Amino acid sequence: MLNQGSAALRSAFVGHREPLRRAALAIVGSPERADDVLQDAYLRLHGVSEATSVRQPLHFCFRVVRNLALDHWRKASFESDLMAAQEEAEHVPATQATPEQHAISRQLLALVDRVINNLPTRTQKAFELYHLSGLTQRDIGREMGVSTGLVNALLREASDALLLHHRGAGKA
């Protein structure tokens, strides 16, 4: 026999509220969150059309409560993980570079600048647009009026020049 719509579901829900709450509580682990799940479930069941046929209203109610409880649990778990990560990040000491590290960084930047400035203008521009402006290879191609494949080759040329200089400096 088919029971009709939201009236049968609401009746099953109200008549079995405590077992439904225990089912939600088993998943979410908090009486307050279990009550929130039941409230959400009731509203969801209330929205079911009278024309909707449900063979087993109580089974349907349990399924709705279970699904909503799992959604609540996942959301709470995600938020908990997020808060833990934020708290953990707050305790990471700020790193400040030593004067020696600043000097090395400046020397490295000057070296990269020298290597890039010795490249053809088109290669320099592609390198700067990609690494400094953050454009995609497709956007660089459009801006420079060249194919994406050529942009890729120009970026590879710049990378090879830097790598070659790095390897040459390592041998010295």
Query: How confident is the prediction along the chain (172 residues), in pLDDT tens digits per residue?
Result: 344 567 788 889 999 999 999 999 999 998 999 999 999 999 888 877 766 778 899 999 999 999 999 999 988 888 887 887 777 776 666 667 788 888 888 888 888 889 999 999 999 999 999 988 889 999 999 999 999 999 999 999 998 988 887 776 655 4
- In the chain, what are the domains? 3-90 (no CATH), 99-171 (1.10.10.10)
Select from 124, 48, 113 the least CA-distant residue to 11: 48
CA 4 to chain centre: 42
Task: Pick left, alpha or beta for residue 95 (phi over 0 → left; psi -120 to 50 → alpha; otherwise beta).
Answer: beta
Distances in whole angstroms, Cα of residue 36 to Cα of each of 17, 104, 120: 13, 57, 65
- The answer, as to whether pTM is greater than 0.75, is no
**Tens digit of each residue's pLDDT (9 = 90 or more) over 78-107:** 888 788 777 777 666 666 778 888 888 888
Spatial neighbors of 117 by CB under 8 A, at least 6 apart, are 124
Which residues face 53 on adjacent strands? Answer: 4
- Residue 3, H or E segment: strand 3-4
Q: Which long-range contacts (CB under 8 A, 24 or more apart) does 92-96 make?
A: none
Is 151:131 a contact under the CB 8 Å cutoff? Answer: no
Which amino acid belongs to residue 122? R
> In Å, how far are 110, 127, 150 from 141, measured between CA atoms?
27, 12, 8
